[in-house]
Copies of this chain bind each other. A is one copy, B any other.
Amino acid sequence: MSLIGQREGIEAGRLDAFVDGAFAFTLTLLLIGGSSIPDSTDKLLLMLGGIPAFAVCFFHIAFFWHGHVRWRRRCHEATTTGRWLSLLLVFFAMIFVYPLHMVFAGLFNGLSAGRLPSDFHLVGGAADMRTLFACYGLAYACMAGTLTALFGHAARRAGRAGFDTLGARREMRVWSVPAVIGLASALVALLLPLSAPGWMWALPGFMYALLFLIGPVVSRFNRRYGQAA
């Protein structure tokens, strides 16, 4: 490896260390912030009841973190654009963690008819739902959008260097699906009239089921541009 290459590697490695550390902190925020330390078995059981929501948040955050790991596979150099977008991803992750936890703590609390505890309760009805889904959708769209931009940047760099851009462009397509869905869900939540019947408020939530569209989008991409990784 040339000296330049080695120095580039050190810089890219430090950015990765920063991103990895910040994502690990974000998980800790879920734990520290969730509630006080249990000092009786009752409180321990209460805390254990929060595990399903913690699990969903944990793997959500890990999913976006893994997106950044996959991006590094496509773009090994330390570029200015890559650095700013990576920092932006960390920034959004630190903001995303709170609405994420509220949505799933509320969801499991509701699904279990209150048996799974939640610090957070939807007291304000429709107005609360609108706020929550709008925040969640926007944060989701920002994170997925940042990853889309990261892969787009990797594709442009690979193209300029004369390498195969197919892998990076496919990943870009994959991440654009959650970005669009998050944005659409937030818009639906903001546009639904507050007087809409209760079941309609499940609509912005069910829109995330459209994530299954990632499969067909990738298939179509592969049919059009070939199968090479």
Contacts and interface: CB of A to CB of B under 8 A. Distances in A.
A98 B59 contact: no
Given A23-B18, A94-B27, A99 B44 contact: yes
Contacts of A37: 33-34, 98, 119
A69 B38 contact: no
A25 interface: yes
Contacts of A95: 48, 51, 54
Interface string A41-58: 110110110010011001
Interface stretch (A120-128, A171-179, A180-188, A212-220): A120-128
A39 B94 contact: no
Interface stretch (A7-15, A149-157, A194-202, A203-211): A7-15
Given A11-B69, A102-B38, A24 B22 contact: yes
5 nearest A-B pairs in the assembled complex, by CB-CB distance:
A33-B37, A21-B24, A41-B131, A39-B119, A41-B128
Contact of A44 (B47, B69, B98): B98
Interface of A is mostly: helix
A32 interface: yes
A16 interface: yes
A65 interface: yes
Copies of this protein, total? 4
A85 to B, nearest CB: 12
A11 to B, nearest CB: 6
A160 interface: no
Contacts of A28: 22, 25, 28-29, 94
A174 B128 CA distance: 49
Nearest to A91: B58
B24 A18 contact: yes
